[in-house]
Structure 1
């Protein structure tokens, strides 16, 4: 099974604030198995390295569904990072964040 995570943005950097102070991201990973968690942790590490002022939350799909975080935070889907295309997908996500001015 190929694992993936979905990245969402929320907060001031994504709600048309004039001067956001930070970039809030949510990483939703598929499950609680070791491979899924390791992919989410590696994504968090790499995103934190490449995005100034990043605040990153990680939840499994089940946790997100339980807390309805995406709905409550009015988070917007930014993209997915697939295990087999990690660097390509991360580069595309970085470009998307730059386009949105959230970088």
Structure 2
């Protein structure tokens, strides 16, 4: 039986909420627990996102820390993906911006 580490990726900030200019692309990685393996996977995913998505600014929180801070609600985070497939995350980030810009026209 394979272990599945739940990871959720959220976008927030001006890139996702404004059709105007933006300084960076704010992304939040929420991992399932504070155990070593999920933490290392989240760190690895952060490095990959930063390498693949120009201007990305990636934060990491465990699920319990996110619940304590209520960060997603406070930042109006948009769920981008619920796994760690970097290509799908990158496509979702790019398509969200294009969709929003199209709606603003």
TM-score (norm 2): 0.85
| Structure 1 stretches of at least 4 aligned residues deviating more than 2 Å after TM superposition | none
Compare CA radii of gyration and give the structure with the larger one: 2
Aligned length: 96
**1:13 has 2:9 as partner:** no
**Unaligned 5+ residue runs, structure 1?**
83-88
Task: Kindly indicate whether the alpha-carbon contact (under 8 Å) linking 1:22 and 1:55 is maintained by their aligned counterparts in 2.
Answer: yes
The reply to whether residue 101 of structure 1 matches residue 103 of structure 2 is no
Alignment map for 1:1-103 (pairs within 5 Å): 1-82=3-84, 89-101=85-97
Mark the runs of 5 or more structure 2 residues left unpaired by the alignment.
Answer: 99-105
Does the CA-based 8 Å contact 1:4-1:39 persist in structure 2?
A: no
Q: Which structure shows the higher strand fraction? A: 1
